[in-house]
Structure 1
Amino acid sequence: MVGVLALVVGSGAAGAAETTFTFGGYVKVDAMLTDYSDGEVAAGNGVRDFHIPGAIPVGGTAEDADVDFHARESRFNLKTETALDSGKKITSYFEMDFLLSPGGDERVSSSYNPRLRHAYFQYGNWTFGQTWMTFMIIALPDDLDFVGAADGSIFGRQAQIRYTKGPWQFAIENPETTVTPFGGGGRIVADDNSVPDLVGRYNFKGDWGTFSIAGILRELAYDDTSSGGSIDDSTNGWGVSVGGTFKTGAKDDIRAMLSTGGGLGRYIGLNFTNGAVINSRGELEAIDSTGGFIAYRHFWNDNWRSTVDYSFLQVDNDVPLTGLGANKTAESYSVNLLYSPTSAITIGAEYMHATRELESGVDGDMDRFQFSAKYAFSFATKSN
């Protein structure tokens, strides 16, 4: 990305006038006490770091609560903004953190590999690179949990080409299909798509807050013939999402999202359900799902604030195809108290209760108490 920008910015035709470099990010430490009602979660599993609806243990035996400390959500980002003599500008953004990455342990160094979050540049109305999914409406709760209200959230980042014109956004994005075998079983990550995901979104904005409507059309595809299988099929998936942030006072707000579709799969609930299931004829059938959340944030004064939220996801499985081991529902609620002595520092505590249920009726709960402290930083410099 940096090399491409250097070529564009440095070309005589472009006529670069000045580039502003902004370095930012935050340092965050999380301390968590988590109790699982129906099983144990191994060290290194992502659900030990933040709420992943599909990873809550079910049908097992309860053990003692787990204590985890980590600073893996800490992140660093770099933004460049180059003004051109033509009056246009080129903006780039790169960000990384350390969540869900291998390379570390809790025995000696607690070191972890960095992972890519964002890497994109914008020129005019165009965005090229990896960033938030266009189908994702930016209205997440003010929670200490990394995602917050993950069950009913459209959430993710991926490579894309996006065009923005006023309130309209259109994008083609990297496709991927997750499949449930006939009768149930482990998730199949197909990687057999031949058509990108197509996304459109319209954004409203006013003194009252923000509101967005998004739609997606996607191909669900799976081909195992090269490995000796007999399945080579595809079907269509679709989804609609609405949501936004609505002001209820000088600082208070309500944040909400509601999404539904056939074949949403990986887009909702951190891939709580798959996009499609294989039927008895070796064909793909899209799996329907509906989810959402609502969160209310209240400022007690200039330094203290709280958020309470509820999130859910309901999957409409065809049980004879998916089997009784398929995820059926996920729910969570949380409440927190946050203190910011300055705009750069946030210290707080949060309680979350989350549940996961299978089609068989087997379920499991998670109760988590979390303490976090975060320091955000940002500074800029210019170069001619």
Structure 2
Amino acid sequence: MTRPLGALSLAIIAACGSTAVMAETNTTFTYGGFIKLEAMHSDFSAGRVGTGAGRDFYVPSSIPVGTGDSYSAFDAHAKQTRFNFGTTTTFDNGEKIQTFLEMDFMVTADGNERSTNGYEPELRHAWVKWGNWLAGQSWSNFMDVGVLPEAVDFIGPSESTVFVRQAQLRYTSGAFTVSLENPETTVNPFQTSSSVATDDNALPDVVLRYNIKTDWGHIGVAGLLRQLGEDNGAFDSTETGFGVALSSKIMLNDRNDLRMAVNYGSGIGRYVGINTIQDAVRDASGDLDAIDLFSAFIAWRHVWGGDWRSTFSYSILAADNDSALTAGTTTSDVNSIRVNLINSPMPKLDVGVELSHAVRETENGADGDLDRIHFMVVYKF
């Protein structure tokens, strides 16, 4: 919804005496979001998964592996419910400045299911944009939002998807964008599968992207260059990380499209698969060794007719772990398949069901499965 700034607000702004504000000719604001109910039944083949993100949506690293007892659980929540607010101000010279703020409730720590199910808001986006510049928190420039498959789940093919929101300064010129983004390094200590977030980077991550739009869809290619770092008193090491991402959406006809992405790199674990693979592993002397990974997904979306549609997808993530440095319990690969059926009985109202099967395997050969049936009702406003 868009609405001009009210007369009372204009009077207050005028009273402030700001020359820049007085020069504006129009300010509008927008608000939007959605209300979403999710319900899912999950079967884990090799152990119990307690409360947390792995019960609310598909988190590949949360799948238990080994010979543990199978475990089933039913969960329902409205945490993905989302609200956003934005402004656009147009000045006398025709220039514009835009802002955007968005929140949901997905992965906050507080809240319980005993009585009130109250959860804290979580910051998703907060940015200001003027001319060719964007400053604030938004999707990483390494991520192609336009190829994400339509899913009942929060993300869908999580293991293969570049999925990062972070603070950045971005410049756009036509189809080309470059950004400096907030860095972070995640590390596997020597011969363990645990994870350490160091927060010791001295340089921002640099991302270059070029998107080509055509009548049949688009192709995107992106490159990432970053410094990995750890300096905690006991260990002091840096390493270089890099990544490339190729993505595309192909409109086959008015009822079918293909969406796909391929990602490869060294030291890009936190960008892909919700950090299922770490950026680096620490060797016996404390030096960082970047971990290579590969991921890909392909998804076919088909409109059956009327208000019915489905998406079929396959997704894979594989890490090239050094067996001399990495524990046997470290994830080696994850893959999943999913299919959904979604109906829109009214405008902006979607009702859907999704079936998914995922397998996680570790370096010692242990594996575990997740089978999930996932329902949703979502109304966008």
Fold agreement, TM-score > 0.5 = yes
Please give the secondary structure, in 2, of the residue aligned with 1:13.
helix
Distance of 1:60 and 1:372 partners within structure 2: 32
2:218 & 2:86 partners in 1: Cα distance? 25
Structure 1 position 219 matched with structure 2 position 227: yes
Q: What per-residue deviation string (whole Å, max 9, x for no partner) do you get for residues 83-111 of structure 1? A: 11111111111100000112211110011
| Cα RMSD after superposing both structures | 1.5
Shift of 1:60: 4.6
Q: Which residue of 1 aligns with 2:197?
A: 189
Q: 1:25 aligns with which of 33, 40, 43?
A: 33
Percent sequence identity over matched residues? 43
What is the SS of the residue equivalent to 1:292? strand
Say which SS state the counterpart of residue 277 (structure 2) adopts: coil
Tell me which residue corresponds to 1:134: 141
Q: Which runs of 5+ in 2 are unaligned?
A: 1-12
Secondary structure of 2:262's counterpart equals: strand
1:369 pairs with 359, 366, 373, which one?
Answer: 373
Runs of 4+ in 1 over 2 A off after TM superposition: 60-64
Q: Pick from 86, 100, 114: which aligns with 1:93?
A: 100
2:154 matched residue in structure 1: 146
Shift of 1:342: 2.7
* Residue of structure 2 equivalent to 1:205: 213
| Residue of structure 2 equivalent to 1:382 | none
Q: Which residue of 1 aligns with 2:363?
A: 359
Contact 2:47 2:71 in 1 (8 A): no
Aligned residue in 2 for 1:300: 304
Q: Name the residue aligned to 1:381.
A: none
Alpha-carbon distance between aligned partners in 1 of 2:214 and 2:346, rounded to the nearest angstrom:
27
**Is the partner of 1:243 in helix, strand or coil?**
strand
Is the 8 Å Cα contact of residues 350 and 369 (structure 1) preserved in structure 2?
yes
**1:183-230 per-position Cα deviation (integer Å, ceiling 9, x unaligned):** 1242111000000000000011011101100000000000121xxx1x
Task: Give the 3 Å change call, closer, same or farther, for CA 175–64 of structure 1 in structure 2.
Answer: closer
Q: Does 1:110 align with 2:117?
A: yes
Indicate whether 1:121 and 2:128 are aligned.
yes
TM-superposed CA distance for 1:64, in Å, is 4.2
Structure 1 CA distance for aligned equivalents of residues 227 and 240 of structure 2: 5
Q: Distance in 1 between matches of 2:207 and 2:228?
A: 15
Which of 133, 152, 167 is the aligned partner of 1:159? Answer: 167
Question: Which of these residues, 188, 194, 197, is aligned with residue 180 of structure 1?
Answer: 188
Taking the aligned partners of 1:10 and 1:350, their CA distance within structure 2 comes to 56
Alignment gaps of 5+ in structure 1: 1-5, 378-384
Contact 1:10 1:16 in 2 (8 A): no
Structure 2 residue aligned with 1:81, among 65, 83, 88? 88
So what's the TM-score if we normalise by structure 2? Answer: 0.94
- 1:248 is aligned with what amino acid? L
Q: Which residue of 1 aligns with 2:347?
A: 343
Q: Deviations over 1:34-84 (max 9, x none)?
A: 0000001112x1010100111111125234420001000000001111111
Please give the secondary structure, in 2, of the residue aligned with 1:47. Answer: helix
The aligned length equals 366
- Structure 1 length as normaliser, TM-score? 0.93
Which amino acid is the alignment partner of residue 364 of structure 2?
Answer: S
